[in-house]
Amino acid sequence: MTAQRAEDTDDPYLWLEDVTAADALDWVRARNEPTTAQFCDTDFERMRAEALEVLDTDARIPYVRRRGEYLYNFWRDAANPRGLWRRTTLDSYRSDSPEWDVLIDVDELGRTDDEKWVWAGATVIEPEFTRALVNLSRGGSDAVIVREFDMLTREFIPDGFALPEAKSQIGWADPDTVLVGTDFGADSLTESGYPRIVKRWRRGTPLSQAETIFEGTRTDVSAGANVDRTPGFVRCFADRSVDFWNTESYEVRGPELIRIDLPTDASISVHREWLLVELRSDWTVGATSYSAGSLLATNYDEFLSGAVDLQVVFEPDAHTCLHQTAWTRDRLLLVTLADVASRVEIVTPGTWQREEIAGIPPATNTMVAAADHTGDEFFLDSSGFDMPSQLMRGTGAGGLERIKSAPGFFDAENLDVKQYFVPSKDATLIPYFVVRSRAVEGPGPTLLGGYGGFESSRTPGYSGVLGRLWLARGGTYVMANIRGGGEYGPRWHTQAMRENRHKVDEDFAAVADDLVKRGITTVEQLGAQGGSNGGLLMGIMLTKYPEKFGALVCDVPLLDMKRYHLLLAGASWVAEYGDPDNPDDWEFISKYSPYQNISATRHYPPVLFTTSTRDDRVHPGHARKMVAALQAAGHRVWLYENIEGGHAGAADNEQAAFKSALSYSFLWQTLGGQP
């Protein structure tokens, strides 16, 4: 059961928070059935098949990461729904049909173990590349088991490092030692459910004898540690996340903890001799002030000794922000956004001179897909709403080689992509993209997507599923770059936190109004969709702005903001939303919390909620209770809860295709279109 307080006992649907209780699961099944009966028709089945074809096709780009002499990839397809962890060489990868060396077949492993394993990644020891700590999830949850894998014999090591199911953090200190944070028993986890204690665990000893090297507090989000094993620069680091946005960082030297004395809300990284600092707020050092969003660099050892010689690598302006950084051995890659358009530069450490990388396709969104911090290789991925991904390989010497191209999954030749700006309630200009066929005349079915939180930027990109199931059928897609995200740097986010959260909703509502005003759609034909924090946004649109939409899809959502901090990882988001137990914070949270603001008299558009029983990040009780309360108030509402899937809502391609087709079938039916 979840945490319960006396003041919550008047919640008639609290029992739905008991995730796997028989009566709660019976209630879920009783609501899944009418949802699938209504929307899983012949049009749904066509869309499901088309989505699965996109997700399973061998023509997709197999994205890779270099570890030593090999390029590693994780791959799912129709024959391997749970996936293959595999590797190849660069020469083979350049070919149209690479020869893949399979290390772990997750489907076969699941059959052997009689478990529905979902791949959750592997930590490979560097620079040896001989062992891996493999993470496996039951049904896609964040909690994982850990097993040590021998990459030479291709077998799990019977007496190797292993952890039972938990939200663990584990990494290599040396071939016979790991640093581990996990559920060690009483008082070893934070209130958010993450490790607060880090121990050094030596091979051949029981976990109970591991030596504690670092501790946080119960009110922290988490504590962690890692060892950088770069030859000549071996260092051990530890940190405690005081809240979601503030972290204290240390270097561990034997029994000594050396504080890396920087603003706690800055993002820091150490690479060889260099320390990078990305500021989230303004910082003054001596007589020099640095603005939020700037990237600074200095010599790490000199900084620790007290010298402050900071070099400005990047400084934002009103239109441009830092979006991504990645290191090769001797170069730094920078991706910036200018009004949500990307630019990639390569930087020479020391002089910190920046040079734009030539050869990137125009009018695309480009990201660093992978970079080898031990060599000079990097991969860039470029795509746009109307252009499938192109994977390019570069080196520190410059020049790009197009190495892979994804196929087109729908006819994008006649797509029109435009960017608009609309003033929000406080006159801030909010950008958004409109994607539709030139053959569409006048208003039509339109899907508006948004997120608006945690400094997460939404950028243009190609989606074969969206293209096939929505755009190719005559639908219009809109991506809103509302505040709360990071499209214009940290200030775009911080101005919409906590008591200013209402700006996120006002921005989204302004975009919805502008779409109708421009004649792109009508209220009856305008749908919106968001997940997780974006699901909270959909809940607010439903209860605060229901007259602006014809339908809403609310995925894996936060909705009961009175109890969110008591459910699963919710306590870690108090810095973003505020603390409901603080009366001053509840004063502003209560004004928008969807579960507490349901009206029985206002007209609500039809809404589809989706969640997962195995979601151990955002509790499925949010969606369950909201559906129950809405139905009791007489509103038209639908629920689909997948038993597997975790916070992603799907554990494999088949489940992902089903979920996508269900959402689009709902939207086509409710918005009056013909799929």
Catalytic residues: 532, 647
* Both structure tokens of 478: 């809109």
How much is the CA Rg of the chain, to the nearest whole Å?
25
**Cα 288 from Cα 467, distance rounded (Å):** 49
C-beta separation of 172 from 201 below 8 A:
no
Largest CA distance in the chain: 70
Q: Which residues contact 560 (CB under 8 A, 6 or more apart)?
A: 567, 593, 594, 595, 596, 621, 622, 625, 626
Whole-angstrom distance, CA of residue 494 vs CA of residue 265 = 11
Rounded Cα distance, 25 and 612, in Å: 11
Does the bond joining 127 to the residue before it have cis omega, within 30 degrees of 0? Answer: yes
Give the residue carrying structure tokens 């050892």. 301
CA nearest to 505, candidates 447, 549, 556, 461: 549
Q: Which residues pair with 398 in a beta bridge?
A: none
- Joined together, the tokens standing for residue 310 give 């900071």
The secondary structure of 157-215, three-state, reads: CCCCCEEEEECCEEEEEECCEEEEECCCCCCCECCCCCECEEEEEECCCCHHHCEEEEE
3-class secondary-structure state, position 670: helix
* First-to-last C-alpha distance (Å) of the chain: 42
Buried-state track 437-452, b at ≥16 Cβ within 10 A, e below 16: beebeebbbbbbbbbb
